[in-house]
Amino acid sequence: MADNISDNRDDVVCRIVRRELDAAVVLRTEEVIGFLDHRPVFKGHVLLSPIQHVDTLLDLPPELMTPLLTAAQRVAASLGSALGCQGTFVAMNNVVSQSVPHVHVHVVPRTKGDGLRGFFWPRTKYADGELEAYAERIRSALRG
């Protein structure tokens, strides 16, 4: 599937797909793009979206469900070796709390005792140069 998003879509994900916005991309296939959240819950927090514009989970066509969840599984598996985390938190907001009108899956690295409780997601920031360093560690782990 090509980058078949509408010319009039101006959401952040579509702009990243079209390479109009910089992002620390960790994974790109024909169907899915994965990049670091610029306001992560924890450093290494990846957002995965279909390349094709899809507003919400309810709009996601069946043929994109498998590639999206397979990408989430791959990223979750890579974060342990890339970042030394003990597990991941995988989540998707649907309309309520969905800050970008383009369906996306959060894959958040977790470590026992990291302080994340329930659905309150405190955010952190990357230091200068740190975003790309985290992205490279994850890309390297994804390459195997």
Q: Is 53 a catalytic residue?
A: no
Helix (H) or strand (E) holding 135: helix 130-143
Supply angle C-alpha 127, 113, 44, rounded to 5.
35
124 within 8 A of 134, measured Cβ to Cβ: no
Domains belonging to the chain, first-starting first, are 12-143 (3.30.428.10)
- Give tens-digit pLDDT for 58-111: 899 999 999 999 999 999 999 999 999 999 999 887 655 657 879 999 999 999
Q: Is the pLDDT of residue 4 over 80?
A: no
Q: How many helices (H) and strands (E) does the chain have?
A: 3, 5
pTM of the predicted protein model: 0.81
Please give the structure tokens belonging to residue 90. Answer: 């995988």
Q: Is the pLDDT of residue 10 over 90?
A: no
Spacing of C-alpha 122 from chain mean position: 17
- Give tens-digit pLDDT for 23-60: 999 999 999 999 999 999 999 999 999 999 999 898 99
CA within 13 Å, CB half, 140: 11
**Confidence at residue 1, expressed as pLDDT on a 0 to 100 scale:** 39
Q: Is the pLDDT of residue 6 over 60?
A: no
The active-site residue, picked from 53, 102, 104, 106, is 104
> 117 falls in which pLDDT band (50, 70, 90)?
confident
**Confidence at residue 116, expressed as pLDDT on a 0 to 100 scale:** 84
